[in-house]
Amino acid sequence: MNNKKIKVKNICCLGAGYVGGPTMVVLAEKCPQINVFVTDIDKKKIERWNSKQFENLPVYEPGLSDLVKKCRNKNLFFTTDIQNAIQNSDIVFISVNTPTKTQGHGAGYASDLKWVESSARIVGQFAKGHTIIVEKSTVPVRTAELIQKIINHYKTDELLTDINNKKTFSVLSSPEFLAEGTAIKDLEFPDRVLIGGDDNDALDTLSLIYQEWIPIKKIFRTNLWSSELSKLTANAFLAQRISSINAISSLCEPSGADIKEVSKAIGADSRIGGKFLQAGPGFGGSCFQKDLLNLIYLCRFYNLDSAADYWEQVIKLNEWQKKRISKIIIEAFFGTLSSKKIVLLGYSFKPNTNDIRESPAISIALQLIENGATVFIHDPKVSESQIRNSIEIEETYQKTKNSINDNWSYEKDLEKIVVDADAIVIVTEWEEYFNLNWRGINKLMRRPSWLFDTRGIVNAKELEETKINFWQVGKGFLKKE
């Protein structure tokens, strides 16, 4: 796409998760002349990236396995040999986890940057020559300054004549704007790519790589701090839209309005647009809540309390929506779920991904179990071990962990899971759930039977000749026997 020659031969990525893995796979496919090394300290994760069973990759994204199959061991390599990968690379991407701190200063809001710090030290220790360090992880504003201070301790005199011992660095920010479930498409055809920094040579180098498949008009250059803040702001705005439409969905239900009609009407306004206006059980994933908390922390740090309160309300409303749906289910059974079999369809936070981080399904499942239900869970891509881990790590329920583990089951067979079910709750809008045979399911459930559609994907007409009671988000109770 560009006429200038790319001088970069090797790229290393620290972190082989949901961001680093797909990003580097696409980069390798689009730039066959560059060797891409994806590294991680988790040996089992790297083993799965190297697995001959491509359905066993640690990250599920439509189209991902085909690209891995095409590039792996040609110019794409997954390895735990971090030292060698860094030593041979011209650019090092940092794509490690930045979870919310659980203790210490800023706990509950600020990001824990221990993995970013350790990555900077490892790069500083093992890099050779001039190395461009690119922040790809979502980080707080001015994290690049922290990275720069760390690597300054490893930098050598730029006038040093022995090039083999010379060590210099440039730090850039290039945050990801991926939506899980469409990550490959988002990487191949991005709305924009952001590069923040003050080293023009480094900016040009990274821009040339992106230009191999991305039009230059979509590559935005900013300063470091604008780039870092843009990522947090984008996620905050998207989360805000989800909480906003969910707030309106709660008003639609008692008033007789239809949330789909309301969403269509307001989405037709060009100033608003139609995206992220689908009512549901609340937002999940690794970024929205974490980035909102980070933004709240920054606002409070700069004494912008009113701004912090505003963004905090987005999170509070998201939690309220999950609890509201659980309460509706519980009250439909007159306040008790004892001896009730509740089926959850979907456990990932959205379709076409196996990521369950902050998934509304976790909160809903735990609230139902706490109220006496036995919960049966189905998901096309989420494993039983993922579900078990998500339930066990919920600190709120640690004291009663054993009873919780006794009150949920995982089932792969959709027909088998609904047998003798008292209620079915659609939590994730997987394609498999759009055209279920409700007449057949009706015959397998216990009476009285319920369907709670938290995603608004079921046509009420399909339930007309059944005995299934029906509630749908943004519409309320549509059918009661």
Which residues does the annotation mark as catalytic?
287
Give the C-alpha separation, 390 to 388, whole Å.
5
* CA nearest to 332, candidates 452, 438, 457: 452
Tell me the residue ranges of DSSP E strands in 326-467: 341-345, 374-378, 408-410, 423-426, 449-453
Structure tokens at 61: 């994204």
Which neighbouring-strand residues pair with 446?
none
DSSP assigned state of 401: H
Sheet of strand 468-472, all strands in order from the earlier edge strand to the far edge: 408-410, 374-378, 341-345, 423-426, 449-453, 468-472, 476-479
**Could you tell me whether strands 468-472 and 476-479 are parallel, antiparallel, or unpaired per DSSP bridges?**
antiparallel
CA atoms within 13 A on the CB side of 352: 12
CA atoms within 13 A on the CB side of 3: 0
Find where tokens 């981080």 sit: 357
* CA nearest to 210, candidates 230, 188, 225, 232: 188
Measured N-to-C along each axis, helices 360-370 and 305-332 cross at an angle, to the nearest 10 degrees, of 50
* CA nearest to 279, candidates 251, 308, 310, 312: 251
Counting beta carbons within 10 angstroms of the beta carbon of residue 267, is it exposed (0 to 12), middle (13 to 18) or buried (19 or more)?
Answer: middle
Give the C-alpha separation, 290 to 396, whole Å.
19
**Could you tell me whether strands 91-94 and 129-135 are parallel, antiparallel, or unpaired per DSSP bridges?**
parallel
Residue by residue, DSSP assigns 45-105 as HHHHHT-S-GGG-SS--TTHHHHHHHHBTTTEEEES-HHHHHHT-SEEEE----PBPSSST
Instruction: State the amino acid at position 40 in one-letter form.
Output: D
Give the C-alpha separation, 392 to 108, whole Å.
19
Q: Which residues contact 435 (CB under 8 A, 6 or more apart)?
A: none
**Is residue 13 a contact partner of residue 24, using CB atoms and an 8 Å limit?**
yes
Helices (H), 256-381: 259-267, 288-301, 305-332, 360-370
